[in-house]
Structure 1
Amino acid sequence: MSVDASFEDGAERPLNLGALDTDDLKVISALVQDAVFPVTEMKYDRKARRFALLINRFRWEDKGAGRHAPERVQAVLAFDTVLGVATQGVSREDKDMVLSLLTVEWEAGEAPAGKLVLTLAGDGAIRLECEALDVTLKDVTRPYKAPSRKAPHHDG
């Protein structure tokens, strides 16, 4: 019998998490909140049915934040079983565009199919038509000091 990982299990180690249900997805969504990525770091491999982002995520799970400046880490956020991708408010032609990820949510369809909706700051969104919910988050670099030296903050 396996035991689900908790938010605290990330501690100071690189994350490598998967989500196959909405409870798991909530954890990943919380960990990627306020991640930023250039529009050039989005890739859809239609043949492999995989959509992936190379993101710079804020390390919300960092227990050492009181000992050092806030940190970010590069991570791959991958979505499998993707049948199609649609975007709103995202221009692939603007190579300098940097997007900020707010949430990742699942909209169930005829089981096990559904849509993953990635909500972006500034009214942007990415919608992934999926056969099933299958998401992976994997840190791929060592943490680095957040350029702003601050944790993201949301008014309201």
Structure 2
Amino acid sequence: MTDLKLIALDTEDLEVVSAHAQDAIIRVADMGYARRDRRFALLMNRFDWESDKPRAKGLRKRAALHFSGVSHAAFAGFDPTAPEGVLNLLSISFLPGDAPAGIVELRFAGGGTVRLTVDFLEARLADMGAAWAASAKPSHTLD
């Protein structure tokens, strides 16, 4: 098993990061905005979609994701102060503004979102080594 390390500097890169982070489980307590450092970071248990050793239910891996150049973070659809809250990440997207600035949006199942106002797009996703058998393989109905 190889640990994943990705950087996104444009929307195409971010689509790749989003695909690898899709269906990640995130505790609300494991995400935060460091205003002074202009960074938003989170820890996740991501589903290992790219595993070269498929198992019936797959694997989950502990991973970290952070965004640089963040000037503002807004939360909607969930309580960001609920430490035991758990979110399921659906997608990450970038809405361009005055180049290179824009909005990074993290969308969660159930309608929750995190919107990050960024001066530029820079995201880094890295596995942290731990991996374990998933309790279920995520599946979605296509409407």
**TM-score with structure 1 setting the length:** 0.87
Question: For 1:69 and 1:142, how far apart are their aligned partners in 2?
Answer: 17
Identify if the C-alpha distance between structure 1 residues 69 and 120 changes in structure 2 by more than 3 Å, giving closer, same or farther: closer
- Name 1:113's counterpart in structure 2: 101
Question: For 1:81 and 1:15, how far apart are their aligned partners in 2?
Answer: 23
Question: For 2:31 and 2:125, how far apart are their aligned partners in 1?
Answer: 14
1:6-155 maps to which residues of 2 (within 5 A)?
Answer: 12-66=1-55, 69-146=57-134, 148=135, 150-155=136-141
Between structures 1 and 2, the one with greater strand share:
2
Deviation at 1:143, TM superposition (A): 1.3
Question: For 1:105 and 1:94, how far apart are their aligned partners in 2?
Answer: 24
Question: For 1:93 and 1:126, how far apart are their aligned partners in 2?
Answer: 13
* Cα deviation code 1:42-70 (max 9, x no counterpart): 1111111100010000000102114x651
Q: Which amino acid aligns with 2:53?
A: G
Q: Does the 8 A contact of 2:103 with 2:116 survive in 1?
A: yes
**TM-score with structure 2 setting the length:** 0.95
Q: Which runs of 5+ in 1 are unaligned?
A: 1-11
Q: Which amino acid aligns with 1:64?
A: K
Give me the CA root mean square deviation: 1.1
Structure number with greater Rg is 1
Q: Which amino acid aligns with 2:117?
A: E
